[in-house]
């Protein structure tokens, strides 16, 4: 934990640090491995496959939380509103099954991961597998009505060919010190992001000039929904309910502080209890919190449902696309769909290289 904390401090520092300098040779080695891997895919020495319907990949080149999960949900909602029938594929971290698994109403986070359950709540088919190609083909076999696949956190999963890449970068952290792992937070060189058809930046406020872009990135607006009781999801309350009670703020996400700060902006001044990303919650995690209210993210809530009690409240987080962003996304999907409608003799014939 101490090493992780030290690395993160180095990654997000605005100034060069001694540790980043010492780790730079490893970053150069890592960069060479990444470049070689990409070249092998380009030359066809590593197999790539396409399921035969437009594929949208949502991901990033920076480690840690950037808002990919709510962005996937925003993309799915946009497609649904436009009349498409999307499906989602995910690795299902930390489970990452080797064979495809369908998410169902009976699924548990321990079976399929936490984020896929949030996607399933949108009313779309979701398939989980470490092999995204296998997940995509299984998804289409079980749900032939699907006409667009959204791949969650698959930017670096090059075995899955894609038509639209959406880069997500945090408005607060951006690209950190700009260095590759382990000296910095980058999974790939920063110029890799320029190849993405759509680049988005989740933020709590819109640009001051009244526009919808910050440089090359489309700004998507983050919003907190009203808290609801985990034991009774239909019961919602205003944030003012917790204004004077100093509730416990529990978050097992990549950047718990961001959730805590958002609640403060909503008038809730609680006490933060951070947990590791994808933490598998147990009843004992909540024993030290007493009888006060507990606010948690929707990502964490499914893992607490089996032992939920009256203290637990869930705060939804959504991102909202500007009209210009929606139009660009739908244009990219329409262009990709036109290609497959013309070229493929069968609806779901996979392409392989």
What residues make up the domain containing 195? Answer: 49-221+320-352
Domain-embedded: residue 66: yes
Which of 106-110, 150-154, 180-184, 268-272 shows the lowest mean pLDDT across its residues? 106-110
Q: What is the pLDDT of residue 350?
A: 45
Mean pLDDT of 162-184: 93
The verdict on residue 6 lying in a domain is: no
Q: Is 244 exposed, middle or buried (0-12, 13-18, 19+ CB in 10 A)?
A: exposed
**Residue 276 shares a structural domain with residue 308:** yes
- Looking at the fold, whether 330 and 291 belong to one and the same domain comes out as no
- Give the pLDDT confidence score for residue 1 in this predicted structure: 60
Please give the Cα distance from 159 to 133 (Å, whole number): 7
248 and 287 housed in the same domain: yes
Shared-domain flag, residues 132 and 212: yes
Residue 169 pLDDT greater than 70, yes or no: yes
CA dist., res. 271 & res. 60, Å (int): 30
Q: Are residues 80 and 188 in the same domain?
A: yes
Same domain, 240 and 162: no
Give pLDDT, residue 267: 93
pLDDT-based confidence at 209, cuts 50/70/90? low
Confidence of residue 348 (pLDDT cuts 50, 70, 90): very low
Q: Residue 10 domain-assigned? A: no
Residues 90 and 119: beta-carbon distance below 8 Å: yes
Q: Is the pLDDT of residue 206 over 80?
A: no
Q: Are the C-beta atoms of residues 65 and 134 closer than 8 Å to each other?
A: no
Q: How much is the pLDDT for 71?
A: 95
Q: Is the pLDDT of residue 240 over 60?
A: yes
Residue 129 and residue 100 in contact, taking contact as beta carbons nearer than 8 Å: yes
Q: What whole-number distance in Å separates Cα of residue 210 and Cα of residue 284?
A: 47
Q: Reply yes or no on whether the pLDDT at 349 is more than 60.
A: no
Q: Are residues 129 and 233 in the same domain?
A: no
Looking at the structure of the chain, the number of domains it has is: 2
Write out pLDDT tens, residues 26-75.
999 999 999 999 999 999 999 999 999 999 999 999 997 788 999 999 99
**Mean of all residue pLDDT scores within the chain:** 91
The tokens for 208 are 């001051």
From the centroid of its chain, how far is CA 66?
7
| 121: in domain | yes
- Please check whether residues 85 and 173 belong to one and the same domain: yes
Say what percent of the chain tops pLDDT 70: 95
How many whole angstroms from its chain centre is CA 204? Answer: 17
Dihedral, 231, 109, 2, 312 alpha carbons, nearest 10:
0
Query: Is residue 2 domain-resident?
Result: no
70 and 131 in a single domain? The answer is yes
Same domain flag for 100 and 187: yes
- Same domain for 160 and 176: yes
Q: What pLDDT score was predicted for residue 347?
A: 40
345: pLDDT strictly greater than 50: no
In this prediction, residue 298 carries a pLDDT of 93
343 — pLDDT class (breaks 50, 70, 90): low
How far is the C-alpha of 131 from the C-alpha of 129, rounded, in Å?
A: 5
Which pLDDT score is estimated for 66? 82
Residue 325 lies in a domain: yes
Q: What is the CATH number of the domain that holds 115?
A: 3.40.50
User: pTM here?
Assistant: 0.89
Q: Does the residue 4 lie in any domain?
A: no
The reply to whether 343 falls in a domain is yes
Let me know: does 231 contact 296? Beta carbons within 8 Å: no
pLDDT in tens, 271-288: 999 998 889 999 999 999
Peptide bond into 94 cis (omega under 30): yes
Cβ neighbours of residue 203 closer than 8 Å, sequence gap 6 or more: 171, 214, 219, 220, 221, 222
Residues 257 and 148 in one domain: no
Percentage helix, strand, coil, to 5, in the chain? 35, 20, 45
C-alpha triplet 291, 292, 298: angle, nearest 5°: 110
């Amino acid at each position: 934990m101490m090493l992780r904390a030290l690395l993160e401090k180095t990654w997000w520092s605005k100034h060069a640090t001694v540790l980043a300098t010492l780790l730079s040779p490893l970053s150069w080695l890592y960069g060479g491995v990444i470049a070689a891997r990409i070249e092998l895919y380009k030359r066809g020495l590593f197999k790539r496959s396409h399921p035969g319907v437009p594929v949208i990949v949502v991901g990033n080149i920076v480690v840690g939380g950037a808002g990919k999960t709510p962005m996937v949900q925003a993309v799915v909602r946009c497609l649904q509103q436009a009349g498409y029938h999307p499906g989602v594929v995910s690795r299902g971290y930390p489970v990452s099954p080797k064979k495809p698994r369908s998410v169902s109403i009976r699924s548990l986070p321990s079976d399929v991961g936490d984020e896929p359950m949030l996607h399933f709540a949108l009313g779309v088919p979701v398939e989980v597998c470490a092999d995204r190609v296998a997940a995509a083909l299984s998804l289409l076999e079980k749900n032939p009505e699907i006409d667009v696949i959204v791949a969650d956190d698959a930017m670096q999963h090059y075995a899955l060919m894609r038509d639209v890449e959406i880069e997500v970068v945090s408005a607060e952290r951006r690209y950190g010190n700009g260095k590759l792992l382990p000296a910095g937070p980058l999974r790939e060189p920063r110029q890799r992001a320029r190849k993405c058809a759509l680049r988005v930046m989740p933020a709590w406020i819109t640009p001051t000039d009244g526009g919808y872009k910050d440089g090359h990135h489309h700004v998507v607006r983050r919003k907190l929904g009203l808290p609801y009781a985990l034991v009774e999801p239909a019961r919602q309350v205003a944030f003012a309910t917790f204004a004077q009670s100093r509730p416990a703020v529990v978050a097992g996400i990549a950047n718990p502080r961001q959730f805590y700060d958002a609640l403060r902006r909503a008038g809730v001044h609680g006490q933060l209890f951070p947990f590791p990303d994808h933490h598998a919650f147990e009843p004992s995690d909540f024993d030290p919190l007493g009888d006060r209210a507990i606010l948690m993210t929707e990502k964490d809530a499914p893992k607490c449902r089996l032992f939920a009690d009256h203290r637990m409240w869930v705060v939804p987080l959504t991102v909202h696309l500007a009209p210009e962003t929606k139009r660009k996304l739908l244009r990219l999907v329409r262009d990709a769909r036109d290609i497959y409608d013309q070229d493929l003799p069968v609806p779901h014939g996979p392409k392989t290289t």
